[in-house]
């Protein structure tokens, strides 16, 4: 396993990490979740990603149970939570990025995950109804209280991230260290263009999600309907509608052929392609079965196949390279 700095911070995160969205306490048996965490940890993964909203808090409870059972030394792993959507409650006090919810969600995540502090704590989405200043102060104070070590954002715009940094600089507070955006062969603009300047100025780290577009980039949906797979789950109809479209299918068919010609597999190629971007600090893997994780944990092997020539061939298939403004 290789380790990369989380932005300009000194924290080294494994370039492959592991998350629990949809799977833990929902799609898969608890024993499988435990097996997956074992596999990840044994392979050198040091970051486990979670959020209050995953299975309405139950994903964090399960991860906490597994972590406490394993007795892994607390200094050997990084664990996260994210606040915004709430853990099931729909009242205005139970969600958002105001001080009350951020503090309460942090306390609840600590209890569920059974840890004394969160290594990473994210604002899961921007909150248009809370001043960014209130959020920045709260996150800074949680760091000062030792309840979290680093804070970050998820799916914030570049402007919103920079606003948080400007406020932090003005008041000598700690700004956001990392952003958690979607990044994969089909979704690229934020990571490749929108944040381009922020990597250079404040040194933003990125912990990227859905590297395989929820499994679509494995190629398993081509000509088939794999029943036990994520995009056929009723709760995710909205995601399937966006993903299972002719344009994506055309790309994946060509990518599958390329992967075969290179002597690798689509899951490995898809993850390696994300790793190839030096502004990616870690690729968060998801898996519903041990054999899936076994495969993606070996994605680094495919990195050497991604020569300039192959990257150009991939661009020709994707036809979606986001462009920086020409000035």
Examine residue 220 and tell whether it contacts ligand NDP (CB under 6 A): yes
Examine residue 21 and tell whether it contacts ligand NDP (CB under 6 A): yes
Examine residue 47 and tell whether it contacts ligand NDP (CB under 6 A): no
- Judged by beta carbon, residue 173 or residue 274, the one nearer ligand NDP is 274
Examine residue 211 and tell whether it contacts ligand NDP (CB under 6 A): yes
41 is catalytic: no
- Judged by beta carbon, residue 20 or residue 177, the one nearer ligand NDP is 20
Examine residue 209 and tell whether it contacts ligand NDP (CB under 6 A): yes
Return the residues of window 287-326 that contact ligand NDP according to CB under 6 A.
Answer: 287-288, 292, 295-296
C-alpha closest to that of 5 among 39, 46, 50: 46
- Judged by beta carbon, residue 49 or residue 119, the one nearer ligand NDP is 49
Give the nearest distance from C-beta 208 to ligand NDP in angstroms.
Answer: 8
Contact flags string 114-153 toward ligand NDP, x per CB under 6 A: ----------------------------------------
Give the nearest distance from C-beta 85 to ligand NDP in angstroms.
Answer: 9
Contact flags string 165-184 toward ligand NDP, x per CB under 6 A: ---------------x----
Q: Which residues are catalytic?
A: 54
Could you list the residues that contact ligand NDP (CB under 6 A)?
19-21, 23, 49, 154-155, 180, 209-215, 218, 220, 229-230, 267, 284-288, 292, 295-296
């Amino acid at each position: 396993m290789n380790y990369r700095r989380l932005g300009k911070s000194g924290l080294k995160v494994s370039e492959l990490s592991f998350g629990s969205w949809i799977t833990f306490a929902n799609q898969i048996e608890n024993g499988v979740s435990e097996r997956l965490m074992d596999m990840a940890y044994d392979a050198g993964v040091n970051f486990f990603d979670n959020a209050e909203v995953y299975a309405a808090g139950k994903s964090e409870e399960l991860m906490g149970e597994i972590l406490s059972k394993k007795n892994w030394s607390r200094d050997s792993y990084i664990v996260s939570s994210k606040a915004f959507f709430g853990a099931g409650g729909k009242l205005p006090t139970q969600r958002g990025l105001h001080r009350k919810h951020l503090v309460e969600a942090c306390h609840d995540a600590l209890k569920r995950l059974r840890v004394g502090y969160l290594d990473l704590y994210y604002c899961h989405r921007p909150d248009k109804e809370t001043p960014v200043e209130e959020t920045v102060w709260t996150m800074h104070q949680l760091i000062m209280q030792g309840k979290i070590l680093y804070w970050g954002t998820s799916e914030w715009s570049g402007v919103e991230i920079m606003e948080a940094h400007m406020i932090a600089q003005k008041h000598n507070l700690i700004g956001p260290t990392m952003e958690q955006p979607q990044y994969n062969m089909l979704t690229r603009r934020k990571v490749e263009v929108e944040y381009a300047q922020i990597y250079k100025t404040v040194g933003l780290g990125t912990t990227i999600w859905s590297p395989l577009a929820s499994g679509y980039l494995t190629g398993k949906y081509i000509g088939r309907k794999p029943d036990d797979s994520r995009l056929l789950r009723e709760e995710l109809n909205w995601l399937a509608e966006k993903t299972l479209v002719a344009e994506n299918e055309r790309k994946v068919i060509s990518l599958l052929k390329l992967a075969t010609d290179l002597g690798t597999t689509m899951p490995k190629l898809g993850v390696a392609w994300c790793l190839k971007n030096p502004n990616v600090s870690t690729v968060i893997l998801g898996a519903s079965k041990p054999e899936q994780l076994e495969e993606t944990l070996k994605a680094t092997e495919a990195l050497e196949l991604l020569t300039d020539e192959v990257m150009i061939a991939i661009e020709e298939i994707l036809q979606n390279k986001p462009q920086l403004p020409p000035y």
